[in-house]
Amino acid sequence: MPTLNRNGVNIYYEAHGSGPTMLLTHGFSATAEMWKANLAAVSQKYRVIVWDMRGHGRSDYPEDTADYSEALTIGDMAALLDAHGAESAIIGGHSLGGFMTLAFHATHPTRCKALMLFDTGPGYKKDEARAGWNKRAETMARTYETKGLAALGRSAEVLACSHRSAEGLARAARGMLAQRDARVINSLETIKIPTLVLVGSRDEMYFAATDYMTSKTPGAKKVVITDAGHAANIDQPEAFNREVLDFLAQASL
């Protein structure tokens, strides 16, 4: 089982195919397993790295909440690229992974060849809205602490994945899902590389965020996947794979 040791925290990853490097990051409470239906098609032209974030799946579940943060996640992403000799890559992610994709670009813009944002949002400019999001994250953390893995629910991306315990998810909710400032949303207008913003036609919660990111990101391409929910890549894998590959072809990547 390939892992990357980050100051004592083992990060699970897989690399598929060959070609230009692509790093895909899953959403909160999912794992690298959520990309299973996409790897065969995309890895024909790209070296696709998928991984489990801290507190998820086959990665370690540190006991200290300080070991979970946006900054550490960005560091994990950079270390994965380093381990594969990739100075820059196509960076993509789903939900929380999409937010971390934007955070990675805000920190390491020269390491990004293109961005792919799937069923996600850029965070909040207003403190009040961010506080509301963080309150939901804290509620989620407490639910995992009291109900364990039974709190996962039955969404498509969750059903495709597995975890060893709910304790890491609770800490990840507090340290990684919760947001601290408006840095990421304020960075949208600085993006100067090809950007795909994709959403499922039934993922109504992310319609406004999709439109906002598309309008604020120079040259961004918006795609709606018909008859798909929050995990468009799982609900409609063939349509998702086609849109991703078409986008990258148009970007000459």
Domain count, the chain: 1
pLDDT score at 133 = 97
Residues of the chain with pLDDT under 50: none
pLDDT score at 21 = 98
- For helices 70-83 and 96-107, the axis angle rounded to 10 degrees is 80
pLDDT score at 116 = 98
Name which of 26, 22, 29 is nearest 140 in CA terms.
29
pLDDT score at 158 = 85
Name which of 214, 215, 216 is nearest 189 in CA terms.
216
The CATH number covering residue 212 comes to 3.40.50.1820
pLDDT score at 159 = 86
Query: Which residues form the domain of 221?
Result: 3-250
Q: Which long-range contacts (CB under 8 A, 24 or more apart) does 148-152 make?
A: 152/29
Instruction: Compute φ and ψ for 138, nearest 5 degrees.
Output: -65, -40
pLDDT score at 19 = 97
- Supply the DSSP symbol for 54: T
